[in-house]
């Protein structure tokens, strides 16, 4: 049975539709949600959302924090920021990674947290962007 999913950011609605399963980076690690999941509310960490589509394909989404509400038949993701794999600007993520790597060296331990998060976001975006080739089901038109 499919489950309805809505993914929004402060800027836009990224996805709305039915999927077989969604996996997302919850407070306790990567979790999978199917139809009829027990209701729950959790925070999202920096990581990857995978939409297991009804046609058998998968969509990969980079997400950088937020909250998710699971209802028996619907998952609502309110993301701080989120990009589909094919929307990720690789050069921008590489530049962000480099900036963060350089600036972390000059910081005291207690000032490192924001830079560590920027590092995590850029690494995760690069990882998800790598998956764009696998995003479409075999046989469908490539971009
Ligand atoms: P940067 O330092 O490159 O701005 P960031 O991690 O500080 O990266 P965020 O604050 O997480 O960026 O996001 C700001 C906006 O830019 C969001 O709308 C996000 O979706 C978008 N964004 C950030 N990095 C990328 C990227 N590499 N490709 C596409 N969109 C991105």
The verdict on residue 142 lying in a domain is no
Q: CA 130, 92, 10, 14 torsion: positive or negative? A: negative
Note the pLDDT tens digit of each residue in 94-129.
Answer: 999 999 999 998 888 888 999 999 999 999 999 999
pTM of the model: 0.92
- Neighbouring CB atoms inside 10 A of 123's CB total 15
Q: Which residues contact 103 (CB under 8 A, 6 or more apart)?
A: 115
Residue nearest to atom 11 of ligand 1 (CA): 81
User: 72: CA distance to ligand 1 center in Å?
Assistant: 32
b/e per residue, 44-68, with b = 16+ CB within 10 A?
Answer: bbbbbbbbbbeeeebbbbbbbbbeb
For residues 36 and 27, what is the distance between their CA atoms, to the nearest angstrom?
A: 20
User: 1: CA distance to ligand 1 center in Å?
Assistant: 34
Rg (CA), the chain: 16
Same domain for 59 and 127: no
Whether residue 12 has its Cβ less than 6 Å from ligand 1: no
CB 59 within 8 A of CB 16: no
Note the pLDDT tens digit of each residue in 42-92.
Answer: 999 999 999 999 999 999 999 999 999 999 899 999 999 999 999 999 999
Ligand 1 nearest atom to the CA of residue 93, by list position: 27
The tally of domains found in the chain comes to 2
Our mutation pick for probing the ligand 1 site, out of 81, 86, 124, 130, counting the most ligand atoms within 8 A of Cβ, is 81
Same domain for 93 and 77: no
CB 52 within 8 A of CB 62: no
Domain range enclosing 98:
85-136
Residue 11, classed as helix, strand or coil, is coil
Same domain for 59 and 95: no
The verdict on residue 16 lying in a domain is yes
CATH number at residue 103: 1.20.5
Residue nearest to atom 9 of ligand 1 (CA): 81
Same domain for 68 and 11: yes
């Amino acid at each position: 049975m499919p489950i309805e999913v809505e993914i929004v950011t402060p800027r836009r609605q990224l996805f709305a539709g039915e999927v077989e399963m969604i996996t997302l980076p919850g407070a306790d690690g990567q979790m999978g949600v199917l139809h009829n999941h027990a209701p729950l509310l959790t925070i999202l960490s920096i990581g990857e959302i995978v939409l297991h589509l009804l046609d058998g394909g998968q969509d990969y989404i980079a997400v950088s924090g937020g909250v998710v509400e699971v209802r028996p038949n619907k998952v609502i993701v309110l993301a701080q920021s989120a990009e589909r794999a094919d929307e990720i600007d690789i050069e921008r993520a590489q530049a962000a990674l480099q900036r963060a790597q350089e600036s972390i060296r000059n910081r005291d331990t207690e000032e490192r947290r924001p830079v560590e998060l920027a590092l995590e976001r850029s690494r995760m975006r690069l990882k998800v962007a790598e998956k764009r080739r696998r995003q479409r089901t075999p046989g469908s038109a490539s971009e």
